């Protein structure tokens, strides 16, 4: 073939490809007065999520929270005891930190909204914007840092709520839609599938059983809805995995079964009261499997049993391997904690376990372990918003005694009195406190009597005074 023929053939090929490209492009060019795509193909309507979203979006709200943070020129001015001693007026300069996120109306009649704790944590004000543009101030009902869930409430008419799906029936590959308020842009919808179930490993959360999805989730989506194609709520969007700060198609949502249980506890008690087996567990390594004569791949081995806990009363021992709790398979130690953390206090549950390779079964009644964590609300109304935990082992071994303040919610009597996170409570009304048990014995304190907590903070001693309250 000569050069002239080759050139002619190449030209013909390029012309044909170009003609096809022009033809395809012209198919999608929107002509004046004409739609780009037909409404139906062969008499069948094109698939669309619009009808589902018309039902879903009115129940998803934008959440805006603000927190006033004191700004002082000297660290001494941050200490309420220093200001009181030197009679320094409490007039700090302030700056306002703002946070944005999303929420889901799950009870229209009561105005209850589920969101993430990190969206409204320590907020002074919480504002809600509905899809129709109405704005409301929200009331804080309760929060649980260990699952990163919170409940707030608004008083409004004509609210829409989302129906709930049994997230235990969710399967990998199910289509899902995420609705939220990313970057404060306003309500935004993305779609994807369920990529995995039972995910764990996020730092800072005790109970983890996440739905993983590739539906785009970005900052501001937190607390928003993850729904199925029927418009039923399957999860609360919570976090993303992002090495670069942007969305990479790995998002996490809290299953709605977990979220609704936490909500019920927060509405009823203002806190989550969890049942406790009274055991310490770890995952099964290959060496442990061989030593304990365990053939199954799943399970969690008991390493310690609390002497007066529910497991001890049921006869469980160190070395036993728990295979099922409450008729649910236990894959590893994390899943055991997840199941345990969603079981109510006082409930009787069945445990399937192995001892020396032989299967056994027992039943336990879950107790509440008040020696591992207790809310101040349980002790005295003036300590509402406070959570107390034992002294860490590394400090207890050095002879340090007392109870550690794990959390103090802003705008509470304890916060205003000067109590802060990580304070060590060593005495109540001059009675020494060695542990949480001692602390509980000091209450109740008559409301007509002054409440004084002796604390240690960064090696220095202070007294936090709570004003007397009327007995009525």
Active site amino acids: 118, 148, 222
Other Cβ atoms less than 10 A from the Cβ of 110: the count is 15
Coil, strand or helix: which one is 122? coil
Pairing, β 460-466 against β 451-457: antiparallel
Cβ atoms of 286 and 176 closer than 8 Å: no
Residue linked to tokens 């005891």? 81
The residues, ordered by sequence, that sit 6+ positions from 59 with a Cβ below 8 Å of its Cβ are 104, 105, 106, 108, 159, 160, 161, 162, 225
CA-CA distance, 242 to 263, in Å (whole number)? 28
Residue linked to tokens 């705008």? 411
Coil, strand or helix: which one is 280? strand
Cβ atoms of 199 and 212 closer than 8 Å: yes
The span from the first CA to the last CA of the chain, in angstroms, equals 107
Measured in degrees and rounded to the nearest 5, phi and psi for residue 369 equal: -90, 90
Coil, strand or helix: which one is 16? helix
Strand partners, 305: 279
Residue 150, sorted as left (phi over 0), alpha (psi -120 to 50) or beta, turns out to be beta
The residues, ordered by sequence, that sit 6+ positions from 266 with a Cβ below 8 Å of its Cβ are 141, 142, 143, 144, 149, 150, 151, 272
- Whether cis (ω within 30° of 0) applies to the bond prior to 208 is no
Coil, strand or helix: which one is 340? helix
């Amino acid at each position: 073939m000569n050069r002239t023929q080759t050139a002619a053939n190449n030209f013909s090929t390029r012309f044909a490809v170009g003609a096809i490209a022009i033809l395809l492009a012209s198919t999608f060019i929107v002509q004046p007065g004409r739609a780009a795509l037909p409404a139906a193909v062969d008499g069948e309507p094109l698939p669309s999520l619009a009808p589902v979203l018309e039902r879903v979006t009115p129940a998803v709200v934008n959440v805006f929270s603000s927190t006033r943070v004191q700004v002082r020129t000297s660290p001494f001015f941050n200490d309420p005891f220093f200001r009181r001693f030197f009679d320094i007026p409490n007039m700090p300069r302030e700056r306002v930190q703002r946070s944005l996120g999303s929420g889901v109306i799950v009870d229209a009649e009561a105005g209850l909204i589920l969101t993430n704790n990190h969206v409204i944590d320590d907020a002074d004000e919480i504002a809600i914007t509905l899809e129709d543009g109405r704005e409301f101030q929200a009331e804080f009902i309760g929060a649980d840092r260990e699952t990163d869930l919170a409940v707030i409430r608004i008083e409004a008419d004509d609210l829409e709520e989302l129906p709930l799906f049994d997230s235990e029936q969710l399967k990998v590959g199910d289509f899902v839609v995420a609705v939220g308020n990313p970057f404060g842009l306003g309500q935004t919808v993305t779609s994807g599938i369920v990529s995995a179930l039972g995910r764990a490993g996020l730092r800072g959360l005790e109970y983890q059983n996440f739905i993983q999805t590739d539906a785009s989730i970005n900052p501001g989506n937190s607390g928003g809805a993850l729904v199925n194609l029927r418009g039923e709520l399957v999860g609360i969007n919570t976090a993303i995995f992002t090495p670069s700060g942007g969305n990479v198609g790995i998002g996490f949502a809290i299953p709605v079964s977990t979220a609704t249980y936490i909500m019920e506890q927060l509405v009823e008690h203002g806190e989550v009261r969890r049942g406790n087996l009274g055991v310490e567990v770890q995952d099964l390594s290959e060496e442990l499997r061989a030593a304990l004569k365990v053939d199954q791949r799943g399970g969690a081995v008991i390493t310690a049993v609390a002497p007066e806990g529910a497991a001890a009363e049921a006869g469980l021992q160190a070395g036993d391997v728990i295979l099922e709790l409450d008729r649910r398979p236990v894959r590893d130690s994390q899943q055991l904690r997840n199941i345990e953390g969603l079981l109510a206090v006082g409930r009787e549950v069945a445990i399937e376990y192995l001892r020396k390779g032989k299967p056994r079964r027992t039943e336990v009644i879950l107790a509440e372990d008040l020696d591992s964590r207790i809310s101040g609300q349980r002790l005295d109304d003036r300590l509402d918003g406070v959570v107390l935990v034992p002294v860490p082992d590394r400090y207890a071994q050095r002879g340090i005694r007392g109870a550690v303040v794990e959390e103090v919610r802003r705008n509470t009597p304890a916060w205003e009195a000067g109590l802060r996170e990580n304070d060590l409570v060593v005495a109540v009304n001059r009675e020494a406190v060695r542990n949480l048990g001692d602390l509980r014995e000091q209450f109740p304190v008559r409301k007509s009597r002054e409440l004084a907590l002796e604390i240690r903070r960064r090696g220095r001693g202070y007294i936090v005074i709570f004003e007397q309250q009327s007995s009525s």
